[in-house]
Structure 1
């Protein structure tokens, strides 16, 4: 199970201060290693639950309703659930990964999402919470972590397993990266961080150093707390 999951995210920043984000979690290697080690583990409840995810984009609201698991009547939560989409990827009828999409979230939507995710664990790229006003993005590099992905995995496992997961995270993920795309061209970037690089006039790439996240004594050459990207 060593380094067998990859996570790719993309956040598109719109001119109207909203953003749309995508996340793909590739678990092909993980699943084949699980099968080889403990074939019965794939019959466990958690994997059964994951297997139920449709292979076409389905809103969290529709999926929860269909499964009889809609726990809220709060109109704000329901509005958010209708804007979060999920799907699974299958290869040869076997689970190969998941994708999540958050469609055109406004700053107000993100506030609702913060309280919503206190009870509903959704794998999110923490960078979605960076402040974007339609022209300037302020990246808080303290958000360069995997908390929401960890919590999402933990919420689907037993207490014992979730304690094991904490120690395994660095081994569990092979590659994690986030691309930030802007509708308008980038005018300036202030602040530096080892994991951030500009790809072109409209995009920035963040490649996480997993070792540095989990081994606190890793020294980064550039690690400014704030990176400010101004668009034209």
Structure 2
């Protein structure tokens, strides 16, 4: 069976250590757009230092086939003959999920995933879609946004979607060691939440969330603390509410 684009990208996450930087832009019409950049430059540099011809490996060759410009998931899978669904809701969501490869000095440096102008209804459909198609998405996209107020459930300060995506490609033995694998695969993970309107107030605190400027806040994940069941936070309110003007 041919490997779908999603499974291929998950395969890359398994063989590479990387940094993940995401940005979620909250629009005035209650929709949001998110972009996640998966940066593998550090890993590639290490591989080249040890094995100069490492970029000829299958994984990197496949990454090179991913378009350098934003292309939606539906078109990608249809072009490759890997489209597996005729469900119209799934197809609608696939047409709003975009991917592209990234290069530096004409060499692979990672890939990016974008969810373009998702409405609350789109996120409901996305939850249904990802039951079968695991995507390495930022959990914070599922926080509640009504166009003025963002309600953040700090339980979403985790890597559940990425973990599930990796588990879908891992052996049972690897799945049991997922926490250690996550800390090995990912060097740095963070998310910026950016608003079109100025932030009026922030209620609630968390050690990982910091206000950057009048329009944005930043979440920096501490993976060691995340997987330490005995870790204690100075600030860890269950809900953070951001109200914009």
Question: Would the TM-score normalized by the shorter structure come out above 0.5?
Answer: yes
User: What does 1:98-137 align with in structure 2 at a 5 Å threshold?
Assistant: 98-137=111-150
Counterpart CA distance in 1 for 2:158 and 2:239 is 15
Instruction: Give 1:221's aligned residue.
Output: 234
Aligned residues: 231
The answer on whether the counterparts of 2:60 and 2:108 sit within 8 Å (CA) in structure 1 is: no
CA distance in 1, matches of 2:174, 2:56: 16
Q: Which residue of 83, 98, 101 maps to 1:88?
A: 101
8 Å Cα contact 1:186-1:230 kept in structure 2:
yes
- The CA deviation at 1:192 is 0.6
Of 66-75 and 161-170, the range deviating more from structure 2: 161-170
Distance 1:160 1:11, change over 3 A: same
Report the equivalent of 1:202.
Answer: 215
Aligned to 1:168: 181
**Aligned to 2:160, which of 132, 144, 147?**
147
Which range moved further: 91-100 or 174-183?
Answer: 91-100
Return the match for 1:5 from 15, 18, 21. 18
SS in structure 1 opposite 2:132?
Answer: coil
Deviation of 1:165 after TM superposition, in Å, equals: 5.0
Maintained 8 Å contact 1:196/1:206: yes
Aligned positions of 1:26-37 closer than 5 A:
26-34=39-47
Cα displacement (A) at 1:184: 1.1
Q: Is 1:60 paired with 2:73? A: yes
**Structure-2 separation of matches of 1:117 and 1:32:** 33
Take 2:58 and 2:145, find their aligned partners in 1: how far apart are those partners?
A: 39
Give me the TM-score of the superposition, normalised by structure 2: 0.85
Gap runs ≥5 in structure 1: none
Checking the alignment, whether the CA contact within 8 Å between 2:179 and 2:227 is kept in structure 1 is: no
The match for 1:231 is 244
Cα–Cα, structure 1 residues 54 and 101, in superposed 2: closer, same or farther, change >3 Å? same
1:174 positional shift:
1.6
